[in-house]
Structure 1
Amino acid sequence: MTTTRPLTFIRRGKRVTLHDVAPDRTLLDLLREDLHHTGTKEGCGEGDCGACTVVLGERATDTNGQPAITYRAINSCIRLAHSIDGMALWTVEDLATDPLIRPAGGDAAPPPGCLHPAQESMVACHGSQCGFCTPGFVMSLFGMYQNRVVPGQSISRAQAQEDLSGNLCRCTGYRPIFDAAQRMETLPRVAVDEAALLSQLGALAHPPQGTEGYQAPATLASLLQARAERPHAQIVAGCTDVGLWITKQHRQFAQVLDVTRAAELRRVEPLPGGGLRIGAAVNLQDAYAALCATRPQLQNFAARFAGLPVRNSGTLGGNVANGSPIGDSMPLLIALDAQVVLASVRGQRALPLESLYTGYRQNVIAADEIVAFIDVPPAADDEFLRAYKVSKRQDDDISAVCLAIRLVLRDGVVAHASIGAGGVAATPARARDAEATLVGRPWSAEAATAAGAALQAEFSPISDMRASSAYRSVLLGNLLQRFWRESQGQAGASLASIDIVELTA
């Protein structure tokens, strides 16, 4: 077995050190099989159901430059155990026993066994029936509690729906669970002793990993050197895809190279002249928050991209490097005319995102290169942008078709068009024929119809479990019509105007 350095993290206010943890061991297997803590459940084994949700705490810096803790609910079934090295971990078994969780404003820990508000509210609102999904819901509620429950502010139904979007339940119909989310703030306040936890996490800091099976270099330079020395090591970020290779395909990896600790890749920075440079290790939640800050019309698409635990783990760079034809990030980035920056010890090179892919799961990334950054141009004053995700479920589902359309209009004429499509070809694709149909033409119903026809002729989608070829083809034309109607301000043209929360309340 490939040796690794000891895995160390904080749990229940204590330092936990584990030896000989395989580089491809999942966090869920570590909890259930190695530590025999079975409160965390295995449902789907692929990050879809949320039964395995746990919460991670990581050292960070707040807006004032002060040390702080970030709290993120993640799926433990597809997260590698070594990825939590140096962090704090909470499972459903910890909330009533962690001495660092104390009454707000008090020094003493609550009596042993005292329920956390996330647990007590689920009991009071009858949010559990068979109970299998309950540990995951409780942990998502705990993450919400840490991030949302602020004195004087209320958790809205919409916020509860978004934060619980990665958790599925067959029994309750969700209403009592939403009730529990809103009830938490009415209960006596508790808080994590962050000063004590920051001190404990600081004591875990150690130099970058050496030659062990699981490497997580702390700088871009050391990461690129490690990649040059180990071109066959499996690169991982949030493991929302590689985790499936382990749980579903039973693949094994003796050498793993984790990009998420490289400081340069963890940042979102402004580009000279405007736009954003998003590091490949920025998780999807933060990456989409940065995109939505300048393009708020993407908020609904960002929330539907995946459940929150997946967005908290998965990274934009990993999504791009993976290159799945049904991945949702790439069509949007293509429509935004984004460029991907590849890096190696030989230097960096940038290319349009759509030029990265050569075939199904194939790309131009050299053996010693990694995806380092995604550069997104600034929003134009006169652009109209929409991104559409069509799937069988409203939330937490893979797209049958993803289509992103961006037009720049000047005096009613299409000065620029960029269209990205997913689910219709072997790779994420740019719809160049449809774009050419629009550029230089007055933006009108006739132009939208012509572009829709060009879009349908440009692709020959396959039939699979998510949709038939014919359905996908018709859908492409219909989405162009929806885009036209939205651009004209037609009421009810956008599904984003439908309030799912109100329908289920």
Structure 2
Amino acid sequence: MASIEFLFNGAPQQCHASPDTSILTLLREHLGATGTKEGCASGDCGACTVAIGATGSTPKYQSVNACITPAHQLQGKSLVTVEGLAVDGQLHPAQTAMIECHGSQCGFCTPGIVMSLFTLYESLAADTPPLTNQQLEATLGGNLCRCTGYRPIRDAALHMQHHGHTLPNLYHFCSSSYCTESSAQPQVEAESFFKQPTSLADLTKARARFPNARLVAGGTDLWLETTQRLMPLNQLIDVSRVEELLTIEAAELNNQAGWWVGAGVTYTQLEPLLKANFPAFAHLLNRLGSQQIRNRGTLGGNIANASPIGDTPPALLVLDAWVEIANANATRHLSLDNFFVDYKKTALDVDEVLSRIFIPRLPSSHKLHIWKLSKRREDDISVILGAFSYRVEDGRLRDVRMAFGGMAAIPKRALAAEKALENQLITPESFHLAQAALRTDFSPMDDVRGSKSYRQQAAANLIERLYLTLSTPNQEVMLHAYAH
């Protein structure tokens, strides 16, 4: 078993663990720190929330689900759990506020809630205005509680700003080699290993040498194989520290201006770019997952996972996104339209990795809508997701692109429906033709989340929603909730 060296509640810690050990298992079974609870073991309930930060003078802590985060990704990091918040008998403001506002009942979910509030508190400046509903929903949307009804927890979140607090220096400074970011790499064993390359060259070499190893970034989907299906993950290549996969840069491809986004960029890191240039796409992130998931999940992972109900591919398809694919010898560019081959299958060869995604700039004349249907408003998997891009010229639709997730074995564009609307007036008749054409584009899957007939009707209804949006531009078609 390989060694992991990190700061644990401010103290240097060294552990040995198998590659598929989660942070939750490391805490409870290796370190005996049982304050962090296991609820769903799938990243949904938030009971196991902990905080991870880079070591240094002013670390920024992010909330993560310990149950689906690989323990080996703690290497050189600082881990804070609920046991480490009170220092010399002084509770952290998040703890004090939860007590004063009676935010805990049975207490099982309380440690995770406190840790989410801890990361929120530590991100606030001294002159930060009162928290908004949007901030509270973003912070607490991934923490479920069966007892309280959430009002006292929200009260605690607002009340903690009244308490001053400074984390002790032991959380901020490295005093031993345990905090060194690039300490010795775990040794590769014959049957079991966890490799952490830091460059694309090293990643592609590892991929070529170990074609059957699993790649892990955020682990938000992969780790369910061990927590839910009890399958071992013995050979893992961690891409979360590959420098080339962590950048966002303005560029041009195929005479189109846009941005190259590294495959390892998380949703949280991507959000500022989307807010500035694709507000509808940024809005989707509110429903993609909890704050804990957005802190971990990556754009490249969502694409390479090739799930037919992944949230980002339909949006990227209507934006005409491209991907960069790399192996040890070369890189190549491929339209996202051609990346998805079949259910959970992509155009990647066994020795290749997805390195970057090119997102073209959306012209100012174009509009973008992304609508997700799911059983829960937040933190739920899509049943149907539709993305629509177009412009209107002389009352007619031009450059129409629409794509759906949840309608086929792969996320894909509705080419026949696009053709039916191209160069057409915005009339009920033209949209009825597009709805009819949609039936030739897809033969939807039928599963526990939605029947074939439901999916066909729901997708057609999203086209109807597009018509209503275009025909009544000054009126909301549906109630606009924060995460709607």
TM-score normalised by length of structure 2: 0.93
Report the AA paired with residue 159 of structure 1: Q
Instruction: Name the CA distance, whole Å, in 1 between partners of 2:121 and 2:38.
Output: 23
Q: Partner of 1:473: helix, strand, or coil?
A: helix
Q: Partner of 2:401: helix, strand, or coil?
A: strand
- The sequence identity of aligned pairs, in percent, is 39
What runs of 5+ residues in structure 2 fail to find an aligned partner? none
Report deviation, 1:442: 2.9
Counterpart mapping for 1:245-256 below 5 A? 245-256=225-236
Aligned to 1:87: 77
Greater CA drift, 74-83 or 266-275: 266-275
342, 362, 368: which one aligns with 1:379: 362
Report deviation, 1:462: 2.6
Instruction: Name the CA distance, whole Å, in 1 between partners of 2:182 and 2:124.
Output: 32
Q: Partner of 1:275: helix, strand, or coil?
A: strand
Q: Give the conservation status (yes or no) of the 8 Å contact 1:456–1:476.
A: no
Report deviation, 1:351: 1.3
Q: Deviations along 1:395-427, whole A, 9 cap, x unmatched?
A: 111111111111133333322122121111111
Cα separation, partners in 2 of 1:463 and 1:214, compared to 1, 3 Å: same
Aligned to 2:475: 491
82, 92, 113: which one aligns with 2:89: 113
Q: Give the conservation status (yes or no) of the 8 Å contact 1:161–1:178.
A: no
Counterpart mapping for 1:251-266 below 5 A? 251-266=231-246
Aligned to 1:101: none
Aligned to 2:62: 72
Over the aligned positions, Cα root-mean-square deviation in angstroms equals 2.1
- Does residue 410 of the first structure (1) align with residue 386 of the second (2)? no
Q: Partner of 1:481: helix, strand, or coil?
A: helix
Aligned to 2:11: 14
Instruction: Name the CA distance, whole Å, in 2 between partners of 1:198 and 1:441.
Output: 64
Report deviation, 1:494: 3.7
Aligned to 2:408: 425
Aligned to 2:38: 42
Report deviation, 1:484: 2.3
Greater CA drift, 223-232 or 437-446: 437-446
Report deviation, 1:289: 3.1
Instruction: Name the CA distance, whole Å, in 2 between partners of 1:480 and 1:499.
Output: 22
Greater CA drift, 188-197 or 112-121: 188-197
Report deviation, 1:152: 4.0
Instruction: Name the CA distance, whole Å, in 1 between partners of 2:483 and 2:397.
Output: 34
149, 166, 173: which one aligns with 2:142: 166
Q: Partner of 2:226: helix, strand, or coil?
A: helix
Instruction: Name the CA distance, whole Å, in 1 between partners of 2:158 and 2:271.
Output: 25
Instruction: Name the CA distance, whole Å, in 2 between partners of 1:192 and 1:425.
Output: 53
Q: Give the conservation status (yes or no) of the 8 Å contact 2:59–2:172.
A: no
Aligned to 1:105: none
Report deviation, 1:179: 1.2
Q: Partner of 1:373: helix, strand, or coil?
A: strand
Report deviation, 1:149: 4.8
Aligned to 1:450: 433
Report deviation, 1:199: 6.5
Instruction: Name the CA distance, whole Å, in 2 between partners of 1:298 and 1:211.
Output: 41
Counterpart mapping for 1:431-446 below 5 A? 431-446=414-429
Aligned to 1:107: none
Q: Give the conservation status (yes or no) of the 8 Å contact 2:9–2:81.
A: no
Cα separation, partners in 2 of 1:411 and 1:71, compared to 1, 3 Å: farther
Instruction: Name the CA distance, whole Å, in 2 between partners of 1:235 and 1:439.
Output: 41
Cα separation, partners in 2 of 1:310 and 1:120, compared to 1, 3 Å: same
Report the AA paired with residue 28 of structure 2: R
Q: Deviations along 1:227-274, whole A, 9 cap, x unmatched?
A: 111111111110011110011111112221011101111111111353
Q: Give the conservation status (yes or no) of the 8 Å contact 1:156–1:182.
A: no
Instruction: Name the CA distance, whole Å, in 1 between partners of 2:6 and 2:186.
Output: 19
Aligned to 2:382: 399
Instruction: Name the CA distance, whole Å, in 2 between partners of 1:170 and 1:302.
Output: 25
Greater CA drift, 184-193 or 330-339: 184-193
Cα separation, partners in 2 of 1:260 and 1:308, compared to 1, 3 Å: same
Aligned to 1:123: 99
Aligned to 1:182: 158
Aligned to 2:117: 141
Aligned to 2:202: 222
Report deviation, 1:56: 0.3
Count residues with an aligned counterpart: 476
Q: Deviations along 1:108-147, whole A, 9 cap, x unmatched?
A: xxxx232111111111111111111111111111111122
Aligned to 2:223: 243
Instruction: Name the CA distance, whole Å, in 2 between partners of 1:152 and 1:32.
Output: 36
Cα separation, partners in 2 of 1:499 and 1:309, compared to 1, 3 Å: closer
Report deviation, 1:15: 1.1
Cα separation, partners in 2 of 1:194 and 1:440, compared to 1, 3 Å: farther
Instruction: Name the CA distance, whole Å, in 1 between partners of 2:18 and 2:105.
Output: 36
Report the AA paired with residue 392 of structure 1: K
Cα separation, partners in 2 of 1:439 and 1:126, compared to 1, 3 Å: same
Instruction: Name the CA distance, whole Å, in 1 between partners of 2:84 and 2:436.
Output: 57
Greater CA drift, 211-220 or 375-384: 211-220
Cα separation, partners in 2 of 1:71 and 1:196, compared to 1, 3 Å: closer
TM-score normalised by length of structure 1: 0.90
Report the AA paired with residue 204 of structure 2: L
Greater CA drift, 38-47 or 247-256: 247-256
Aligned to 1:336: 319
Aligned to 1:288: 271
Cα separation, partners in 2 of 1:194 and 1:30, compared to 1, 3 Å: closer
Report deviation, 1:195: 8.9
- Does residue 32 of the first structure (1) align with residue 15 of the second (2)? no
Report the AA paired with residue 166 of structure 2: V
Report the AA paired with residue 43 of structure 2: G
Greater CA drift, 403-412 or 194-203: 194-203
